[in-house]
Amino acid sequence: MKRSRSVGASSPLNGIGKQDGDTRRKRKVAEISQALNVTPVDVAALRRMAISEGGLLTDEIRCKVWPRLLNVPTDTLPENPEEIERENNKDYNQVLLDVQRSLKRFPPGMPDKQREGLQEELIDIILRVLGRNTQLHYYQGYHDIVVTFLLVLDERLATALVEKLSTHHLRDFMDPTMDNTKHILNYLMPIIERINPEVHDFMQQAEVGTIFALSWLITWFGHVLSDFRHVVRLYDFFLACHPLMPIYFAAVIVLYREDEVLDCECDMASVHHLLSQIPQDLPYETLISRAGDLFVQFPPSELAREAAQQYSQQTAASTFKDFDLVSEQQRPDSVLRRRLREKQALEGAAAGAMVATAQPTVARRFVRLAVMGLTVALGAAALTLVNTALEWAPKLDLHIFP
């Protein structure tokens, strides 16, 4: 079905003049094109582009890059997705209700007929993925993620990417129970405590818990952000990163709102209400950069013991073979090291000897950030278990965790 893609067509490059911004934008488009056209495709470079300021810039580029980030071969997809039997499907009624309530996720001014057609496609994609993967269980909020892919891609490609995402990044949300989801939420407070103990202690005293961030996590913020440009910018970032990156981004939002939190009444209702109302004018590029920094400073392995809290359920580690294959094809560690050398050369011209002092810290940051491009094929909770991580890290010849 033909439709406008302008809803997420352009991601801004912030903090720079228009002429300089246009130049940087053109340069980035050229770099993305080059990474797509080499053989094999330079997926690690694409990850770097998706993470860096402005993300992937346009929906046209996302159509080409998102499949690469998820290692989905587009040339072997069936031309026509299979028909779905709705009436006897156990998930159909709930999916239908959720999709009918999703009007705000479609662009303002979209003709009703076009929107209704997309809603039908949305239902089919969800039921198709669940039907092919009977180990997955639908959860409310899943449709918010699927509709984002549908608005950027066509039904055929959206189905393939959503299926891959559901069996990898989102796998732990799609268990029969919410045990793994609650475990991932348990990472939020340890991250906050590392950066701002005062905010952490205030929230603990208020007994607010982490449920305010549930919809952020399980919809990748799609349910709570009104501007589609911001949603797809975050998806660029999350698709290129570690599956736990959304919880780090949730932490930086709370930390960004430090003054509001501390000025709030110290009781559960007040703090929960404040944090549940996410601001729409967040400095997204700053927060994205900050989330990446926190991941490097406090990787999941460092937080796992605190987050575990009697956690003993089996997680989605069965995708290791897929992960191993993908990582060998991408080699983001070497690309990130090259990027570091280039950055140091540029900084050297401006800052001279200061670069030499900063080099070890910056180097560690980019080497560790390689893990965000390597771990797309494991369930998020599984990746946080230190023993599991130490089992596969030596095999990949990378010192992924400090």
Query: Which of residues 246, 272, 303 is at a domain's end?
Result: 303
Residues 6+ apart with CB under 8 A from 374: 323, 326, 327, 330, 332, 333, 396, 398, 400
Q: Let me know whether 286 and 186 are in one domain.
A: yes
Q: Specify whether 260 is located in the same domain as 296.
A: yes
Same domain flag for 236 and 277: yes
The CATH number given to whatever domain includes residue 201 is: 1.10.472.80
Q: Count of domains in the chain?
A: 2
Which H, E and C letters describe 235-275, residue by residue? HHHHHCCCCCHHHHHHHHHHHHCHHHHHHCCCCHHHHHHHH
- How distant is the alpha carbon of residue 117 from its chain centre? 27
Structural domain includes residue 32? no
- The answer to whether residues 246 and 203 belong to one domain is yes
Asked if 182 and 261 sit in the same domain, the reply is yes
- Per residue in 88-113, pLDDT (tens digit) is 899 999 999 999 998 899 998 999 99
Whole-model pTM? 0.78
Structural domain contains residue 12 = no
Assess whether 118 and 209 both reside in one domain.
no
Q: Are residues 190 and 143 in the same domain?
A: no
Q: Is 228 within the bounds of a domain?
A: yes
Which pLDDT score is estimated for 316?
A: 45
The last residue of one of the domains, among 117, 137, 162, is 162
Bond prior to 40 in cis (omega within 30° of 0)? yes
> What's the domain range around 261?
178-303
Co-location of 203 and 286 in the same domain: yes
Angle between helices 197-206 and 188-195 (to 10 degrees): 140
Alpha-carbon gap, residue 326 to 332, rounded angstroms:
11
Assigned domain for 76 exists:
no
User: Do residue 110 and residue 149 come from a single domain?
Assistant: yes
Q: What are 350-380's pLDDT values in tens digits?
A: 555 444 444 444 444 444 454 444 443 344 4
Model pLDDT for residues 314-359, shown as the tens digit of each residue: 344 334 344 334 444 444 333 434 445 565 566 665 555 444 444 4
Distance CA(395)–CA(368), nearest Å, equals 16
- Specify whether 123 is located in the same domain as 198: no
Q: Are residues 138 and 190 in the same domain?
A: no
Confirm whether 261 is domain-assigned: yes
pLDDT tens for residues 28-82? 999 999 999 999 999 999 999 999 999 999 999 999 999 999 999 988 888 777 8
**Are 237 and 297 contained in the same domain?**
yes
Domain containing residue 115: CATH number: 1.10.8.1310
Q: Residue 24 falls within a domain, yes or no?
A: no
* 101 within a domain of the structure (yes/no): yes
Q: Which of 303, 320, 349 is the last residue of a domain?
A: 303
- 185, part of any domain: yes
